[in-house]
Amino acid sequence: MKAAVLERPGELVIKDREMAVCGDDEILVKVEACNICKTDLKCFSVGQRDLIYPRVLGHEIAGIIVQKGNRAMGYHVGQRVHVHPGIICGKCDYCTDKKDNLCDHVQIMGFNYDGGFQEYLRIPAEGVKGRILNVISNEDLNFEEISFIEPLACCVNIQDSLEMNPSSVMVIIGGGRMGALNLLLAKASGIKRVLLIEENEKRCKSGMKLGFDQVFSGKTEDIIEQIKAATGGMGADVVIPCCPGPGALDLALKILRKNGQLGYFSGVINEDDVRPEINLIHYKEISVKGSYGCSCAHSRKAKALLECGKIDVKPLISHRVRLDELALGMKFVKNSDGYSTIVKF
């Protein structure tokens, strides 16, 4: 079977590996689609502190069960599944509190275990027991769409932690894949006005098409004034930065109304000279909610939103690549070319 193996940062090799076999408590999934995430790109291009090489990346996985050990209960061969990437301990305080994405002992498919950029994926016994496979019952949902469950579940995590009602004005900074998914989720939850701040002209246009109510770009001072004007002088109720620059965080604090809520969804990684004015959290009594990945429950909710048709991710499918074109796919993601690139098997 073919696997895209990351030997070290920057060195991705397509290898013919021995066919995976599954043990008595395990399940074998034939991967059908795996969405490329910015996290994959980061591991590929600069590496990651805790990543052990060689590793097969890919944690946004859709596939079909092709083999099952005789002690692996609750699943059948032939079922179409989404693979929730987090294998949790099930015992720690976070797990019992349904915050299992924060589990002290979580092991992630595509990071601690080999992931979805290979033809067949072995689901370890702990994963089967932890029910990381979400069976898809809606036949109309294709594998590419199913591969959006994980990133959508990350948006469910942040938005479920915010207090909103239909008249809350939400601003999303950054109109890439995660910004777009946050928009679709907000609209599905009944939020009437979702505004976008985005520099890239192409993304402004596609953002309007996708359903953002207004799009703003330009100089920071101008954007602050425009958002004020668009919200009757108040500022936004909720801001979710979906890009890693500290400038976005600073802008978020400046356009929020007093008592507004910041969804701290995207970690800040780019070092530049902007120092977010964090005292605004104090002066404006801003609430900050962090989110990191998604729990099993978030995945199930995201799956349900796609299955019932409340969210349609088809407009977000921009590029499909074969497994041996994964490096090219990474390039699309790096260049912010389209919304998403999916490895299709």
Residue (39 or 107) nearer to Zn ion, CB: 39
According to CB under 5 A, which one of 92, 135, 234, 297 is a site residue for Zn ion?
Answer: 92
Task: Pick the stretch among 10-18, 34-42, 126-134, 155-163 that binds Zn ion (CB under 5 A).
Answer: 34-42
Structure tokens of 200? 């890239």
Residue (39 or 214) nearer to Zn ion, CB: 39
Residue (84 or 289) nearer to Zn ion, CB: 84
CB of 11 to Zn ion, least distance (A): 21
- CA-wise closest residue to 115 among 147, 85, 82: 85
CB of 89 to Zn ion, least distance (A): 4
Residue (79 or 291) nearer to Zn ion, CB: 291
Q: Does 103 bind Zn ion (CB under 5 A)?
A: yes
CB of 94 to Zn ion, least distance (A): 5
Q: What angle do CA 55, 316, 171 make, to 5 degrees?
A: 105
Radius of gyration for the chain, computed over Cα atoms and rounded to the nearest angstrom: 20
Q: Does 297 bind Zn ion (CB under 5 A)?
A: no
Q: Does 327 bind Zn ion (CB under 5 A)?
A: no
CB of 104 to Zn ion, least distance (A): 6
CB of 118 to Zn ion, least distance (A): 17
End-to-end CA gap in the chain: 12
Helix (H, G, I), strand (E, B) or coil at 208: helix
Residue (181 or 227) nearer to Zn ion, CB: 181
CA distance 174 to 122: 35
Structure tokens of 216? 């703003």
Is residue 33 within 8 Å of 143, Cβ to Cβ?
yes
The dihedrals phi and psi of 325, each to the nearest 5 degrees, come to -105, 20
Sign of the C-alpha dihedral, residues 171, 175, 178, 180? positive
**Element holding 78 (H helix, E strand):** none
Q: Does 95 bind Zn ion (CB under 5 A)?
A: yes
Residue (88 or 305) nearer to Zn ion, CB: 88
Sites for Zn ion among residues 227-286 (CB under 5 A): none
CB of 265 to Zn ion, least distance (A): 12
| Residue whose structure tokens are 């995430």 | 37
CA distance 160 to 155: 8
CB of 178 to Zn ion, least distance (A): 9
Residue (106 or 173) nearer to Zn ion, CB: 106
Residue (173 or 333) nearer to Zn ion, CB: 333
Sites for Zn ion among residues 38-57 (CB under 5 A): 39
According to CB under 5 A, which one of 4, 5, 27, 37 is a site residue for Zn ion?
Answer: 37
Q: Does 89 bind Zn ion (CB under 5 A)?
A: yes
CB of 93 to Zn ion, least distance (A): 8
Nearby residues of 204 by Cβ (< 8 Å), 6 or more positions away: 175, 196, 198, 215, 217
Is residue 12 within 8 Å of 44, Cβ to Cβ?
yes
CA distance 155 to 179: 9
Structure tokens of 179? 């910004």
Q: Does 133 bind Zn ion (CB under 5 A)?
A: no
**Residues interacting with Zn ion, by CB under 5 A?**
37, 39, 88-89, 92, 95, 103
